[in-house]
């Protein structure tokens, strides 16, 4: 069956005339059916922890568009919650967490091995999806990368420059690295349980990798990704891993070799022509249409989509956005993108 799945063929290094397509945040607020299901759940976290409804919103874009992959509907901050952090969402503002900035706060966290009771509804969502997805559709699981997750745990919220996390790593390196290690091993446990439940690929989202420079990027973005990927490969030799060090710039070069990931996802701050020359030489790449095209549409969307497909046509490629689709996107523009990639 794996040979019939376009996404798995790309991850195995196969060059295909038409690349597989999926979208980050493809289950989301731009779809009216998602908004209706979220209203039924009551709030975002209730939706994440309701296996039937989380499976439903994961399936909605597959039914509507026929993407080649579905990505589990969850959130990267469920791992901190399972580790014992308080987590809540403020309407219109985003997530809030209890902070980890002192040793006493870190000492209250759960061991990495004790996350599964909290996260068991997520694994049930995976089991439902493994049964209900079309046979040609690949199921992707995911987690946040340790650096990105740590930035939220340290600041208690998203920040424009990840300043609190940078400050802690400089002022109390031992505490910062202990937190990163705890997240790293919890992530291995979490992704392993997703695989046991039925996901076929895992993706590591390092959304704030771009704020790490030089040796800090290697130590706190590349190295945790390498540790996680190595552990997953040892436990599950056939499971591909996608790494996404967003806004890494030159850091994309050699990332696959340094971490062992099977595919490097690219944001749209790098050009496809550059990435084909410097990143795709090491294997599969994913990306990298600007998500703004899903809002504006038109001939610019068509032209840029074609340019990306052409730039990556000589190597394994998964078509995707450079970041998640935004709530103000037009669903018709998503269909236009898909039709353009598939040559209709």
What is the residue-wise DSSP string for 100-135?
--SHHHHTTSPPGGG-HHHHHHHHHHHHHHHHHS-T
Backbone torsions φ then ψ of 289, nearest 5 degrees: -70, 135
The pLDDT score that the predictor gives to residue 166 is 98
- Residue spans of the domains in the chain: they are 2-341
Res 315: pLDDT: 98
DSSP letter at 135 equals T
pLDDT at 2: 56
CA–CA gap between residue 155 and residue 326 (Å, rounded): 24
Task: Output the pLDDT for position 91.
Answer: 82
The dihedral built from the CA positions of residue 245, 247, 250 and 253, taken in this order, carries a sign that is positive
Is 66 buried (19+), middle (13-18) or exposed (0-12) by CB count in 10 A? Answer: middle
pTM: 0.97
Cα–Cα distances in angstroms (integers) from residue 241 to residues 14, 33, 59, 197, 259, in the given order = 16, 30, 22, 16, 10
CA distance 16 to 342: 11
Question: 2-341 in CATH: which number?
Answer: 3.20.20.210
Tell me which residues are annotated as active site.
25, 29, 38, 75, 152
Q: Give the per-residue pLDDT at 92.
A: 82
pLDDT of 99 reads 97
Residues of the chain with pLDDT under 70: 1-2
């Amino acid at each position: 069956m794996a040979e019939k799945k376009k996404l798995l063929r790309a991850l195995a290094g196969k060059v295909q005339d038409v690349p597989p397509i999926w979208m980050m945040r493809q289950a989301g607020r731009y779809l009216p059916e998602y908004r209706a299901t979220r209203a039924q759940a009551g709030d975002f976290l209730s939706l994440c922890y309701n296996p039937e409804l989380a499976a439903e919103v994961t399936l909605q874009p597959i039914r509507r568009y026929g993407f080649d992959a579905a990505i589990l509907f969850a959130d990267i901050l469920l791992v901190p919650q399972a580790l014992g952090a308080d987590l809540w969402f403020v309407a219109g503002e985003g997530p809030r967490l209890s902070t980890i900035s002192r040793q006493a706060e870190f000492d209250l966290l759960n061991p990495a091995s004790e996350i599964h009771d909290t996260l068991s509804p997520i694994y049930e969502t995976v089991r439902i999806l493994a049964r209900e997805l079309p046979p040609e559709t690949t199921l992707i699981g995911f987690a946040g990368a340790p650096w990105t997750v740590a930035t939220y745990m340290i600041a208690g919220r998203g920040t424009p420059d990840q300043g609190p996390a940078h400050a802690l790593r400089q002022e109390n390196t031992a505490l910062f690295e202990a937190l990163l290690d705890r997240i790293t091993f919890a992530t291995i446990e979490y992704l392993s349980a997703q695989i046991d439940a039925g996901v076929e690929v895992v993706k590591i989202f390092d959304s704030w990798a771009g704020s790490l420079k030089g040796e800090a990027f290697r130590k706190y973005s590349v190295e945790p990704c390498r540790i996680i990927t190595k552990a997953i490969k040892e436990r599950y030799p056939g499971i591909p891993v996608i790494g996404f060090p967003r806004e890494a710039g030159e850091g994309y070069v050699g990332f696959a070799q340094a971490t062992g990931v099977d595919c490097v996802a690219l944001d749209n701050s790098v050009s496809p022509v550059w990435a084909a020359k410097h990143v795709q030489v090491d294997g599969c790449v994913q990306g990298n249409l600007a998500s703004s095209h899903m809002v504006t549409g038109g001939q610019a969307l068509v032209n840029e989509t074609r340019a990306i497909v052409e730039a990556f046509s000589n190597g394994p490629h998964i078509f995707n956005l450079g970041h998640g689709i935004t709530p103000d996107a037009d669903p018709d523009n998503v269909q236009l993108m898909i039709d353009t990639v598939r040559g209709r």
